[in-house]
Chain A
């Protein structure tokens, strides 16, 4: 034990005072003659023992009380880990970083987290400033430091664990930024977490830069005996395809991963369409850390678009990844009619060779873009209504009948794509197709032949794109620059006169149009100013060719960026291309079937695109609304599903000591060995003993008062006196 004010120990000399006073009082006793001494002696004999005990107790209480008072004034303390450092006594700005990621749904972790946060707030002193941040990044009104603790308590009471991925490291740095705004002398970050998947974050980003610049405190939510390796199964993905031999049979395959350290046996799953259980399945065993697939077979004879899910029958510790939502639609494929203007027996010289493979690389006949190639002679006979898009590549000319058929097709909502070529009769095109060509054709311009050795300097290349156009949004991603690397040997020139409802969405380097678009009533027409094959351009062998062609066809078929086919996760910013389907307003509702967590996004399309961030897992439906119509239009084809992030399924907890050490390393920049090895007295964790001493001193004071109070005084205060009795007698 040590003392903060040891000089006060001199007061121990005062312990001699009570005995001295007692001795002095004896000498100062008043002498009084009294006749009834016999009775006094008798009384004294009867009470001597109790008087002696009381007097000894009184003396002991006075001496002990003085001792406690002197010691308390000397401020004794002991060093202990349970103690408080000098710094901690100062007013503190404290940001609470609360892990509300999806993994907090496991067991009692969320309940423990709320309880820990509430306890922490209760212990805060009125002059401490608090703020609350969540690792999911959800905005709260209490993300700024304030001494109004009730606001944080209220926010906490309304908070639920999210279905989002947690970003603990980023949130810690946000917390450090918040603390910089405080003027209080002490700063602290309190992290409340289950420490799941945080090891992964730390492995990716070893240290925080800049450092936190504040003390850290860690509160784990796993309870007294947290399970380091929680047992968990997760449905990671679901995909479906039509059976190649029977178009009514569908294979729906679910991938199930065992994220724990021990195997799982007899795993039961089931497939639901809406709320109806269609079929069940079983996986015999999944080893630790392994992933297995299970395929459901489903017969679907009619066209259908519906919400669906695969779920584990028995939910485990972490239920959110036991269900995977998806949209099942039988019309996932795009039927494209390719009209070949120049057939060839030599494969790579065929006009449609590259295009057909770009549209359907896997040669699937059941999903994606299913091209059907015909010659132009058959075009007049084809039922164009079966097709989502019609592509004409280097077709020389069209009869009026065929032109009219194509015009009707486009006006009723179809998509039409023209590729230029050496076969095209410019006058015929301008004559028969002038109603829906984006611009009248002018002439072919040849920059170089393929064999020309100077071709690399003579050719033109693709230039600027309209980055907001749905076709070209993908080209902001890595790989998009290969478009500009393609060589263009010849191009079709267009009449420069402006044409209503037409626009250029891709230019050549010389600013001549490379890809034009025209809206024709409900449909769209694209005209590509170079060929679909290698004759006029090297684009077909560039990596940009495949996505460009696919996106162009998807755009014509109004299926672009359909989220239904994508694996979307909560917390991601999703983009939905609504194109011409919704012009004024898009309303997104979901998750369907859950009343507790309904979300509703009301969005205005910007360039045919809406952007939003769902935070709950489930199926969502899309509506188009306008002021002209009372009722919205359901856009079933745009319905989509969102699932919880796969990262949250990794429930393995980082050991507390390890995490604590890592946090401490992030507190301050290293300042040299001397500073780290020196003992900072302000950081000594002291347990002050003097408050307890003062408490006992107070008790002794009370005891001394009770023991030392004269009976006559007590009787005066509380009435009734024995003297009154005597007088009455």
Chain B
């Protein structure tokens, strides 16, 4: 199955759906991660209802009409979302999907620009929480791993509903530090996760080098399914700063005193080239690639990913 899909929502479509979604800047005010995730999930589900993407199949044999009293964990919510019919999946093989959410905690993920609602790290956290909520609700096992220059925390995949609390707690407490070592995190998860697991990486990929990109491709060859949420701040794309500026790194790099106007064009070219490199690597490695910015609604970002899987 070709899972590489590049999801870059057009601004027009984004605008059309924004009115239904939560403003990311308001998520912090909602209280616990559980509430936030649920709210986001509602929006996603509603979005899925409106999605033109129908059909598709997962690993099941047939559908059966739901009867009251049956375990609702088997309800195929996607079908419900599409058709308003409550059906229960009958699996050929009763193996659940294992999903691991990999959270990049490098210093650069803690960046928020003037016009952005939240940091990339918080955006990742909200997004991961929401997906975890949705996956667990449909009976998939969800695990998580956070890393910076080391693996900070690891939660194995589980389908227990109480596991969701652990995940929310982990995501809520995510902190960034200066350096990152994505290579080490990926190796760790490759060792711990079972084959045919879905590895979803949340990162700004600023430290991604050829080695990392190759390894992501290698994961695919090890029967892992890989998806990448490439999370960026709009300012990283535009370099909107004016006047003589002393730029300072978030991971201990040397600063730079420069007039952004002098090198904006060159920077933007390099950034686009960087994005293309990542995208091309994902395409080669059959990695699902979703790029987004922190001022896009989280629901939209999630829908980009989920629609492709329906």
- Chain A residues proximal to chain B, CB less than 8 Å: 25-26, 28-44, 46-47, 51, 54, 710-712, 722-723, 725-729
Contacts and interface: CB of A to CB of B under 8 A. Distances in A.
A592 B178 CA distance: 114
A29 B245 contact: yes
A35 B264 contact: no
Contacts of A723: 238, 240
B244 A30 contact: yes
Contact of A726 (B258, B261, B272): B272
Nearest to B204: A35
B270 A39 contact: yes
A711 B260 CA distance: 10
B233 to A, nearest CB: 7
B267 A34 contact: no
B272 A729 contact: yes
B258 A35 contact: no
A34 B249 contact: yes
B244 A28 contact: yes
A581 B235 CA distance: 114
Given A44-B258, A726-B238, A39 B248 contact: no
B56 interface: no
Given A32-B241, A34-B111, A26 B257 contact: yes
B79 to A, nearest CB: 35
Nearest to A709: B261
A39 B260 CA distance: 12
B111 A33 contact: yes
Interface residues of B, number: 46
B246 A29 contact: yes
6 contacts: A26-B257, A30-B241, A32-B246, A34-B111, A34-B235, A726-B237
Given A29-B243, A29-B244, A33-B249, 13 more contacts: A25-B244, A35-B111, A35-B204, A39-B270, A43-B267, A43-B270, A44-B256, A44-B258, A47-B266, A710-B261, A711-B261, A712-B242, A712-B264
B166 interface: no
Contacts of B72: none
B248 A710 contact: no
A38 B244 contact: no
B267 A39 contact: yes
Contact of A711 (B253, B257, B265, B274): B265
B274 A39 contact: yes
B11 A39 contact: no
Nearest to A714: B261
Contact of B265 (A29, A30, A39, A722): A722
B91 interface: no
B110 to A, nearest CB: 8
B266 A46 contact: yes
Given A34-B111, A35-B108, A40-B267, A29 B257 contact: yes
B250 A35 contact: yes
B270 A42 contact: yes
Nearest to A25: B244
A707 to B, nearest CB: 11
A426 to B, nearest CB: 132
Nearest to B253: A37
A44 B250 contact: no
A318 B206 CA distance: 95
A521 to B, nearest CB: 115
A712 B241 CA distance: 10
A37 B255 CA distance: 8
Q: Which of B107, B236, B250, B264 has the most CB of A within 10 A?
A: B264
B30 interface: no
Query: Which of B11, B263, B271 has the most chain A CB atoms closer than 10 A to its own CB?
Result: B263
Contacts of B107: 35
A726 B246 contact: no
A35 B251 CA distance: 8
Nearest to B269: A43
B169 interface: no
Contacts of A28: 244
A5 to B, nearest CB: 37
Given A47-B263, A726-B268, A729-B8, A40 B243 contact: no
Given A30-B244, A44-B258, A36 B264 contact: no
Name the 5 nearest CB pairs between A and B, nearest first.
Answer: A35-B108, A43-B267, A43-B266, A37-B249, A29-B244
B253 A31 contact: no
A111 B257 CA distance: 71
Contacts of A712: 242, 261, 264
Nearest to B267: A43
A38 B242 contact: no
Contact of A31 (B236, B246, B250, B258): B246
Nearest to B109: A35
B262 interface: yes
Contacts of B11: 727-728
B268 A41 contact: no
B175 to A, nearest CB: 16
Interface in B249-298: 249-251, 253-259, 261-268, 270-272, 274
A40 B258 contact: yes
A603 B286 CA distance: 118
A712 B274 CA distance: 23
